[in-house]
Amino acid sequence: MNKEIIINSSNEETRIAITEDNKFVDLYVERPESQRMVGDIYKGKVSRVLPGMQAAFISIGFSQNAFLHFSDVSDFTHMFIDDIEKDQNNEVKIDSKINRYNVEKDLKQGQDIIVQVMKEPIGTKGPRVTTQISIPGRFVVLVPNEKYIGVSRKISQIKEKKRLKSIAYKSLPKNYGLIIRTVAENKTEKVIVNDINALIKIWKNIENKIPEAKTVSLIYKDMGMASSVIRDLFTSDVDKLIVDSRKMMRIITTYVKDVAPQLKKKIEYYNDKTPVFDKYNIEKELDKLISSKVWIKNGAYLIIQQTEAMVVIDVNSGKFIGKSDHETNSLKINLEAAKEIARQVRLRDLGGLVVIDFIDVLQPKNKDKIFVELKKEFHKDRAITKIEKMSRFGLIEMTRQRVRESVIHDLHDDCPTCNGSGLCPTIPTLVSQIERWIQRYRATKGDRRILIRISDDVYKYLTRGRFSKRLQLMWKYWMKIDFKIDESIPFREFKVYDRKNQSEIKVK
């Protein structure tokens, strides 16, 4: 598989696209005013403890309090809530015989607590946080105050797993856990130990900041989006990294030179007049992201609808004309749709519950083929997914890890006219609204002469014909009503004015 990372950097934003076999499959967007929060560590204050919800709300300096589930509270939380002991070298002292922390009894309102963001705010929900701190590096993830050592499941060779664990056991001080990442496979002991030592140094700096830090403050900022993507995704399986900013290229090159010098030759500076996303046909794909309708190359199409509760995807045969029986045709469409669904879900970064309505197939073996194809395609996804087999109604239910808002919200705001519904009143509906307004106005015994400002299309509807809608309203309510075209009026809205003094009239 040919894999490329393409970075477009401007004053306003940095966009990172990932392509697989020339197909656009992942997008990351970062702006200076909305930097990524996942991985940031805060000294917060317990705002409320709700045993009934098995959760607490933590103030970390945002308008919405962070959500802390009891299952995300470490046994070592009291180290941060109570006074922190330091040894003679002014470093934090950890007692290896600490009693287990009872969340429901020991977590109190008003206490200070150290938390790390694991999910960014989504909609009306605040960020989700944990006290189980982890510091990611290039090759390992350091987990302070834990004792386990884990190895990525993608490292399949038992001998290599044992070697990596052996390095970790020799290098890790007491009271530290470690997760060894996939990119550590076949790396030298020196490289891995250097990564571990760098992370331990970061953690010790964090620990020493805690006592002096103000309550409700940021004490550690993780890498920005661009840097973290390079750290996590720029691996040996990437064929090329293309960047159109010299500044960004210097940052990437400096980082890679230290942690993976062999990748330096894969970095290319893009210096063409044509914008880099245009050159690789990514801009066209971005324009399609807002559409709920997605065409598949065989003539079928998907309808993708995102709601507050779930994402719903419908598969339709569209223009597809098969030469076989209905069952075989449906299977072909569904298998192709499964590939495109996985790509679109990754591309739009859709998370939570996803329900997919495939075209009905009757044979159990065909249902299994669709399920296997979908699982295979989502295996390429970094986010954690769980997929259920097809139900008797032809539906597949799945969940996908949600860490941040869908990428569509990074690129688009809700329409101010329809408030994100995609719908606006029809002209007859608007005319009915005008009539109801007149009814309410007449109930107040207001003046019988008014001026209503409307858009051109509504004016034509109201004034066409010999016995126009305007005349009907005037006769019905015995009023002198003038309509005037005003293109400054918002789409499918109207404003009413007093004809004498031209002041706007507002009636609820």
Q: Is 146 helix (H, G, I), strand (E, B) or coil?
A: coil
Is residue 421, in this structure, part of any structural domain at all?
Answer: no
> Do 348 and 334 share a domain, yes or no?
yes
Whether 195 and 263 map to the same domain: the answer is no
Q: Are residues 303 and 356 in the same domain?
A: yes
Whether residues 377 and 485 fall in one domain: no
pTM above 0.85, yes or no: no
140 with 104, same domain: the answer is yes
Do 178 and 208 lie in one domain? The reply is yes
Q: Is residue 8 part of a domain?
A: yes
Residue type for 215, please?
A: T
Does residue 74 sit within a domain? yes
Whether 118 and 126 have beta carbons less than 8 Å apart is answered as: no
User: Is 422 part of a structural domain of the chain?
Assistant: no
- The reply to whether 278 falls in a domain is yes
> Minimal CA–CA distance to 367: which of 386, 393, 399?
393
Q: How many angstroms separate the CA atoms of 231 and 38, rounded?
A: 14
Residue 86: the pLDDT is 47
Q: Are strands 504-505 and 495-498 parallel, antiparallel or unpaired?
A: antiparallel
pLDDT (tens digit per residue) in 175-190: 889 999 988 888 889 9
Total domains present in the chain: 4
Domain boundary among 264, 283, 302: 283
Same domain, 166 and 253: no
Asked whether residue 420 is assigned to any structural domain, the reply reads: no
- Which range of residues forms the domain containing residue 18? 3-34+225-283
Residue 416 placed within a domain: no
Give dist(CA 177, CA 459) in Å, integer: 71
Nearest to 95 by CA among 175, 209, 170: 175
- Per residue in 71-112, pLDDT (tens digit) is 888 766 555 554 444 455 555 444 444 445 567 677 888 888
Taking a C-beta distance cutoff of 8 angstroms, is the pair 115, 215 a contact?
Answer: no
Asked whether residue 94 falls in the same domain as residue 162, the answer is yes
CATH number for 18: 3.30.420.60
In a domain, 100, yes or no: yes
Amino acid at 19: T
Same domain for 140 and 27: no
pLDDT of residue 6: 94
Question: What's the chain's length in residues?
Answer: 508
For residue 47, the model assigns a pLDDT of 92
Residues 69 and 187 in one domain: yes
Give 10-residue mean pLDDT values along the chain (508 residues).
89 87 87 78 92 90 89 68 49 47 75 90 84 90 88 88 91 89 88 91 90 88 79 86 90 84 90 90 85 88 89 90 83 93 91 93 93 92 90 92 73 73 85 90 83 92 89 90 89 87 78
Identify whether residues 241 and 351 lie together within a single domain: no
Supply the pLDDT for residue 153.
Answer: 84
